[in-house]
Amino acid sequence: ILILVAVVFPPASALFLTGCGCDFLINILLTVLGYIPGHVHAFYLIYKRMQAEERYGHEGYKYIGNATYVSVNLSS
């Protein structure tokens, strides 16, 4: 579903992935300047999230900004 949202309106997918932050604003700017750069950025954010899910497992990561994810230690 996230990829479909990225195809229709790239800033919405950036908002879902990163919240209202720098990446969201960058995506809005790229979409306004040219629709294709907004798509590239949105797909890059989706790729980085999929990479984090593969590396850290589902819900085993935290977004810290700038398309960077870190591991969350779930063991007590």
Q: What are 68's strand-pairing partners?
A: 65
Q: What is the pLDDT of residues 49-68, one digit of tens each?
A: 888 888 888 878 888 877 78
Number of domains into which the chain is organized? 1
Range(s) of the domain holding residue 51: 2-71
CA dist 56 and 49 (Å) reads 10
pLDDT tens for the chain, 76 residues long, are 889 999 999 999 999 998 898 999 999 999 999 999 999 999 999 999 888 888 888 878 888 877 788 888 765 4
Q: How far is CA 59 from CA 3, 25, 56, 65, in A?
A: 19, 25, 8, 16
Residue 76 lies in a domain: no
Query: How far does CA 63 lie from the centroid of its chain?
Result: 9
Residue 34 lies in a domain: yes
Number of Cβ within 10 Å of residue 3's Cβ equals 11
